[in-house]
Structure 1
């Protein structure tokens, strides 16, 4: 029989996050700090709006690009929160989570051989999505000494005549790194001078513990060359609703919509009505969850430092990224043994790129009670192997 599989697909590795999630789901008394999913329920008034939309029979297709009402609220939100002004009809599209927005943005812009810059460690989908789009992924290894921020020198060193797109993954998953106004200003001139397009993944924009989030699209000369990706999963605890969006130049959004049209049709109608309510009346919910995450963040950083593990302070998302290099184990060995011996699941840093070796991603999207038990187990494990 002829080989039925695409070689391109076969060569793509499965997500390193799901491996440990699948194991821990079958393990009694295990604590998972591995999945980046809020432990909060979707706020009731948002759920109620989704229920109400069903009761009213709002179960039909929406426009391919999404409800006009939702796109207007997205534009209102981006304007009031990040000083970004977009046209609802021509410059926004509602997608199945931020992940679909990243995928179709790349497919809309990438030709075979185009080089796409991916700062790592970063979200697991960037590299395979570039490969699926026919592009050439070019990794920029971010450094712990720079708090995992992208520097001007690193960017310049990676650009070639084939470079087309830079993915900006901040606030960052898995490191929790953020880039503030001064950090972004250092690279904006390079982006414009080298005529790069930016895909700015801002899904964690509301989870910033250092100050107000700054979008790179807000800099002069950047809006016309930036696709802003965002969504509802992290900020509003709406992971299962599968809803995201992209905002950017009309010429790009038009082609993204074409791909979305043929592959998806439209995002779930119920989720879209709920999202309208989230944007209109969800600010207090976001603030409550952000404050809770901030307390957990500070607890975890202190806990790892007490274990004498180097852990730079993350100011975004809901992850810490402790350094375990002084324990003489690879990231995968540490995570595997920790799960087997102490029933705590974390994610090896290598799931987010080879330069993640020697680090772990630990999520604090879990209750403080679970974090206390988990860190006690991790401390016991660290002490045991430090003595060997």
Structure 2
């Protein structure tokens, strides 16, 4: 089944002939009095509406097991909850700022070490220690759009007994399916492309490993960061338009990249594959598109604040993946938890701007960028 069809038809045959699933709001469920058993008992452990969403999440990723959380960071925390005292996780230096914060400030208190690698693509056997238990990958990376060869990382990690966890938020299952490339776990901030309208906070986690699935179910029940029924229903409905939204957003982003590249008032543009021909080849081999996020810097002498204030359509705000175009400065917004040294190692300059492209008319977006660049040059 094509992913567009799966997004719409994974759930079917609802009561009374309804074409959308019901919302089960009950926090508790009656059990059989004799056996004290039931498919559902208490909402934190399981809920019919959340279970339906988790079926959809698994179907999109080609996974056996899906889990819905209150946020992308809750899903990431659950993915890393399998680590124990003495374990180490390797991550790219340019990892999302929220993940950096969790690994840098929370994991050490649990006796777990996070080691940030400048270029995960250059990882070798020499980088592994007996404590290395997981590799956390973002490809494309946030916000530098660097690419990591997932097949290579999976082979290397598994050879050393380490899990591969992939944050697939930027690509979504429409453009990249890490489990099919051998990854053990996929996490997403469902707030972004899956929800797609900047009005819902959620996280998704999928896996084919039964033992990991048990651990993630325990994390849901023990830690309680589960998605509520109404939000689960809204996410089910939003996912139905996911492939269509991404198709338009990606087309717009490609047009913007082409428009900005080579201009005298733009110092550099980052997009998946822009770092090198090798990264472009790798990305093309493991993803079916470049997505809808790009980063750029204005040329020296241009006024960044004047540029941002002149923009009419992109909101100056964190997040990405919504139908509206957003622009942010990662150094002070999405990656503010990083130290100056860490941002420098990650290639995140003070002037770097990240653009999440929406579904607006491309002519309007290009015209807006042009007039804002003209304002920045005055």
* TM-score by shorter chain over 0.5: yes
Would you say 1:166 and 2:139 are equivalent positions?
Answer: no
Is the Cα contact below 8 Å between 1:140 and 1:158 reproduced in 2? Answer: no
Would you say 1:98 and 2:39 are equivalent positions?
Answer: no
* Change in 2 beyond 3 A, CA 1:379/1:190: same
Secondary structure of residue in 2 paired with 1:288: helix
Residues 305-344 of structure 1 aligned to structure 2 (within 5 Å): 305-308=261-264, 309-314=267-272, 315-324=289-298, 327=300, 335-336=304-305, 338-339=307-308
Give 1:101 shift.
Answer: 0.5
**Alignment match of 1:371 (pick from 362, 365, 368):** 365
* Change in 2 beyond 3 A, CA 1:155/1:65: farther
* Change in 2 beyond 3 A, CA 1:319/1:197: same
Higher relative contact order (CA 8 A, sep 6+): 1
Q: Give deviations 1:234-260, integer Å, cap 9, x for gaps.
A: 134254332332223343343443343
Q: Give deviations 1:39-87, integer Å, cap 9, x for gaps.
A: xxxx9xx9xx9xx9xxx783223643543565466446644x54x341x
Q: Give deviations 1:99-134, integer Å, cap 9, x for gaps.
A: 21102222x223355332221423221111113132
Secondary structure of residue in 1 paired with 2:243: helix
Residues 34-45 of structure 1 aligned to structure 2 (within 5 Å): none
- Between the aligned partners of 2:23 and 2:205, the Cα distance in structure 1 is 27
Residues 113-262 of structure 1 aligned to structure 2 (within 5 Å): 114-130=87-103, 131-134=105-108, 135-142=112-119, 150-151=120-121, 153-154=122-123, 156=125, 158-176=127-145, 183-206=149-172, 212-215=175-178, 217-219=179-181, 222=182, 226-230=184-188, 232-233=190-191, 234-237=193-196, 239-248=198-207, 249-262=209-222
Secondary structure of residue in 1 paired with 2:143: coil
Give 1:164 shift.
Answer: 2.3
* Change in 2 beyond 3 A, CA 1:118/1:255: same
Give 1:141 shift.
Answer: 2.5
Structure 2 partner of 1:109: 82
Secondary structure of residue in 1 paired with 2:269: coil
- Between the aligned partners of 2:190 and 2:94, the Cα distance in structure 1 is 23
* Change in 2 beyond 3 A, CA 1:57/1:228: closer
Q: Which runs of 5+ in 1 are unaligned?
A: 1-42, 143-149
Would you say 1:296 and 2:252 are equivalent positions?
Answer: yes
Give 1:320 shift.
Answer: 0.8
- Between the aligned partners of 1:366 and 1:271, the Cα distance in structure 2 is 23
Give 1:207 shift.
Answer: 7.4
Would you say 1:348 and 2:348 are equivalent positions?
Answer: no
Secondary structure of residue in 2 paired with 1:274: helix
- Between the aligned partners of 1:57 and 1:304, the Cα distance in structure 2 is 45
More helix by share: 1
After superposition, the CA RMSD in angstroms is 3.8
- Between the aligned partners of 2:364 and 2:92, the Cα distance in structure 1 is 31
- Between the aligned partners of 2:88 and 2:375, the Cα distance in structure 1 is 42
Q: Which runs of 5+ in 2 are unaligned?
A: 1-7, 28-41, 273-288, 317-326, 336-342
- Between the aligned partners of 2:271 and 2:23, the Cα distance in structure 1 is 48
Tell me the TM-score normalised to structure 1 length: 0.63
- Between the aligned partners of 1:257 and 1:316, the Cα distance in structure 2 is 33
* Change in 2 beyond 3 A, CA 1:155/1:124: farther
* Change in 2 beyond 3 A, CA 1:232/1:170: same
Residues matched between the structures, number: 301
Give 1:268 shift.
Answer: 0.9
**Alignment match of 2:352 (pick from 356, 359, 371):** 359
- Between the aligned partners of 1:189 and 1:207, the Cα distance in structure 2 is 21
Tell me the TM-score normalised to structure 2 length: 0.65
Is the Cα contact below 8 Å between 2:248 and 2:359 reproduced in 1? Answer: no
Is the Cα contact below 8 Å between 2:136 and 2:167 reproduced in 1? Answer: yes
